[in-house]
Structure 1
């Protein structure tokens, strides 16, 4: 028996055991929680896989990325997810010192998944812009370009409301969220 979404009053089931909210409420979660779920999901998804280059896209990863787009937190969530699934890109060569081809294959797989997730994020940002029509803060027309560092429902950074954890740096190798 699966747990229900942790949003009060919701009877939907979460997308995954470590993604504890349904797809309808996932985007309402704070960035820090999305990053934590992405990291947990990445470790869970890749547990027991001996060859990370065989990892392919997942609907669960797509949901996390779509939720991150709402906050303009694509980079934070994607980095947590990819580092949990593959490896810290800064230590990849050190960990595969004796097998350069393995390091190259993992980096290629990581880049391939980052591009796939970026396409998902761009499509979601376009969908949100089309549904919103104009900036939800000032009412001006939304710019035609996609900026994954800015919530797509706002026209500029000055219209974006402050988030208590949006501008914090996060590393899957530390147990805390430290100010950037």
Structure 2
């Protein structure tokens, strides 16, 4: 039996055991295989790209064989990799220079590879020669909510600690403020802010995350009078902050209600949650602060670079 057939059989076994789709089962099976290749430098991969001849590989049956990427056999990565993918990866990591250390986290030959640098992770899709940044959580194949700003997928973002969410809220607010180019109306309604607020609501951290976002995207309300000479400009800023504050509150209340309706009962004491008053300072799956504090924590610590099983 060839190596490829062995991997397919192993993926089918994982699929039967977990009930996952074949693609997800294949990824999980490949991720479970130990990657014993040593770390390497970006400059070494670029040197291979510049000197290795094009390789002839069997892509199997494809719809458009005329657009298949040119690849070379990389001894560093452990398989064929498109030239253009290496150049795209080098562009994404250009700020770190040729001595940046990388490692192969995942490899499925002629299909996908995940290469990690520092705490950034990149998915290389061989057939299309594309390079996409992934969620920073190891073994996760999902895209981040917003590259370089909210660097986790929605699943892992919802499991982040309030401290991480607050830090990301400040980063997102700064990004939104710059992107709006001074237009107040463009600072509100960010879909990424909604995702962040829903994650914060699930952790009982709505207020601190909302405030961090608003201060970074607009300004600290206590500084408005000292910043604006004209009362009309100060009032416009206050109204813009209040509108976004109310909008985010509506997002939080909707998420709080959805979580409580799904949970139905407190995870610790079993009390019915559906008729209890909203308290956005508490995780919605608990009825009181005492229950929330006594529950085992499942969120990420400040250093989220730990390995955990990912469902994707």
Q: TM-score range by the shorter chain?
A: 0.7 to 0.9
Cα pair 2:271 2:287 within 8 Å, conserved: yes
Aligned-pair CA distance for 1:139? 1.1
Cα pair 2:176 2:187 within 8 Å, conserved: no
Tell me the equivalent position of 2:212: 80
Cα pair 1:3 1:14 within 8 Å, conserved: yes
The equivalent position to 1:146 in structure 2, one of 261, 273, 278, is: 278
Number of aligned residue pairs: 163
Q: Compare CA radii of gyration and give the structure with the larger one.
A: 2
Runs of 4 or more, structure 1, over 3 Å off, are none
- Structure 1 residue ranges without an equivalent (≥5): 165-180
Distance 1:54 1:7 in 2: 31
1:7-43 per-position Cα deviation (integer Å, ceiling 9, x unaligned)? 2221000110210110111110010110000100110
Aligned-pair CA distance for 1:146? 1.3
Aligned-pair CA distance for 1:53? 4.2
Query: More deviation in 53-62 or 66-75?
Result: 53-62
Tell me the equivalent position of 1:130: 261
Cα pair 2:136 2:152 within 8 Å, conserved: yes
Q: Give the secondary-structure state (helix, strand or coil) at the position aligned to 1:10.
A: coil
1:66 aligned to 2:198? Answer: yes
Distance 1:109 1:41 in 2: 17
Query: More deviation in 27-36 or 49-58?
Result: 49-58
Cα pair 1:52 1:85 within 8 Å, conserved: no
Aligned-pair CA distance for 1:144? 2.8
Q: Which has the higher contact order (CA 8 A, sep 6+)?
A: 1
1:135-177 per-position Cα deviation (integer Å, ceiling 9, x unaligned)? 011111114321111110001111012699xxxxxxxxxxxxx
